[in-house]
Amino acid sequence: MPQVIQSTVACLARSQAGFLRTADEVPAAEWKTRPSEDRWSAAELVAHLMMVERAVVGKADRIAQKAPKHFPWLKKIHLPIALVHSRIVRRKSPVPVDPEMLRDKEDMMAELREVRGRTLAFLEEMKSRDLSEYVWKHPALGNLNTYEWIKFLAAHEVRHTKQMREIADSLPKFVETLQK
């Protein structure tokens, strides 16, 4: 497996592991509870992650079926993907969350893992090809190649891990008591 794919897969694994650990802290009974009127619930956050990842991998798959368009190197300059990790600049998602996607915690977490599995399968299918020539515009960062887009997915997940932490910390805590 080429080095760029290995490092990308490692980034995806780290980001998902952190997200899953944090999501585990949200009780299933509170999964669809919004911490406040203007903030997403854990369910909405997971739906958003799935929608973005599906869109990116779907676009990557579609453009990889054609010859890459030539972009001069100057048009390939973009803001660092590391900016996505930070939640200093808050952005509203341009695509609203589909309410049909909001289900119970176990089902949504299983689906999130399936979406990531599709991303990894795409990388495996394309391992013999150079996807760095396939470029398209990110609305905030600039033009990214396919590998950068996949690394964006990891950074996006890290960003939303922080948001999931905020959700978990803001929900009421339930303490189980031992009865003797």
Query: What is the average pLDDT across 38-62?
Result: 96
- What confidence tier does 8 reach under pLDDT thresholds 50, 70, 90? very high
Tokens of 19: 């997200």
Q: Which domains does the chain have, with CATH numbers?
A: 3-169 (1.20.120.450)
Nearest to 58 by CA among 121, 130, 105: 121
pLDDT over 70 for what percent of the chain? 91
Residue 34, helix vs strand vs coil: coil
Residue 174 pLDDT: 52
CA dist., res. 66 & res. 180, Å (int)? 68
Tokens of 125: 């299918």
**Adjacent-strand bridge partners of 128:** none
Instruction: Kindly list the distances between the CA atom of residue 161 and the CA atoms of 53, 132, 144, in Å, as whole numbers in the listed order.
Output: 15, 27, 23
Strands 135-138 and 142-145, bridge-based pairing: antiparallel
Rg of the chain on CA atoms, in Å: 18
Mean predicted lDDT score pLDDT of the chain: 89
Residue 142 DSSP label: E
Lowest-pLDDT range, 27-31, 57-61, 82-86? 82-86
The count of C-alpha atoms lying within 13 angstroms of the C-alpha of 50, restricted to the half-sphere facing its C-beta, is: 23
Contact in structure between 48 and 114 (CB atoms under 8 Å)? no
- What confidence tier does 176 reach under pLDDT thresholds 50, 70, 90? very low
Answer yes or no: is pLDDT of 20 > 70: yes
Residue 180 pLDDT: 46
Answer yes or no: is pLDDT of 138 > 50: yes
Answer yes or no: is pLDDT of 88 > 80: no
Length of the chain: 180
Q: Higher pLDDT residue, 58 or 5?
A: 58
Residue 81 pLDDT: 80
Amino acid at 119: T
CA 116, chain centre distance (Å): 9
**Adjacent-strand bridge partners of 137:** 143
Residue 87 pLDDT: 65
Query: What is the average pLDDT across 109-131?
Result: 96
